[in-house]
Amino acid sequence: MDKRILLVEDEWKLRRIAADFLKREKFNVIEAGDGEEALDFILTEKFDLIILDLMLPKINGWELLKEIREKDSSLPVIMLTARGSEEDILKGYEMKADEYIVKPVSMKVLVAKVKAFLRIHSLGETISFGGITINTDTRDIKMDGVPLELSQKEYELLLFFIKNKGQVLSRDRIITSLWGYDYDGDIRAVDSQIKRIRKKLDGKYIKTIRGAGYKIEEE
């Protein structure tokens, strides 16, 4: 297997044992011993799955999970922690962790869960619109068979348009859906993002509906 796993655990002995078990299954394991080191990896490299402790030096697991979800909403994240209260477990799932495992855990069980999540996510979902195809797992985007490079927000915005095809989307609705109710930035950020997407789509598909917003249409 060539799947890359980021293992974030400050307890050296447990991290080494878990890494050894995963490497036996031919996973490419990258280790981080504190939250700051993990954040550097998260922001600069691509992973297929992350195993994340909560109680970490420098930056805790909650903050890291928030950063992960801001960068990638579909990346599988398994929380592996000694904090087993109902409150913590519910918080983990509310923050969109895919699994919450309380230590101690059998390494064989951990490896089995990793394999299960990677098997599910490897299937992916392909969404098509006109000449655009999007794999929502790998986030590979193509137009007329040619790969497109989109930023995280551009990807989210294009996917939002396609999922709401045929509808006129106002700036307010777009901002609420993608930036949140508490967004207090410039509303013209939407226009800037759409302008960049249009350029990458060669001016196709996204139309301005004067006085109302935007709409995606097939050519």
Q: In the prediction, which pLDDT does 122 show? A: 62
Cβ neighbour number for residue 193 with a 10 Å cutoff: 18
Residue 101 and residue 9 share a domain: yes
In the chain, DSSP assigns E strands to: 4-8, 28-32, 49-52, 77-81, 99-102, 126-129, 132-135, 141-143, 146-148, 206-209, 213-216
How far apart are alpha carbons 175 and 189 in whole angstroms?
9
Amino acid making up residue 217: E
Q: Does the pLDDT at position 149 exceed 70?
A: yes
| Confidence label for 120 from pLDDT (cuts 50, 70 and 90) | low
Q: Does the pLDDT at position 213 exceed 80?
A: yes
Q: In the prediction, which pLDDT does 180 show? A: 73
CA Rg value for the chain: 20
Residue 174 and residue 105 share a domain: no
Q: Does the pLDDT at position 124 exceed 80?
A: no
Average pLDDT over every residue of 141-145: 91
When divided into structural domains, the chain yields a total of 2
For strand 132-135 and strand 141-143, is the pairing parallel, antiparallel, or unpaired? antiparallel
- Provide the domain limits for residue 30: 4-123
Q: Give yes or no for a contact between 155 and 74, defined as CB atoms under 8 angstroms apart.
A: no
Residue 180 and residue 193 share a domain: yes
Q: Does the pLDDT at position 13 exceed 60?
A: yes
Across the chain, what does the average pLDDT equal?
Answer: 89
pTM for this predicted structure: 0.58
Q: Which of 123, 151, 166 is the last residue of a domain?
A: 123
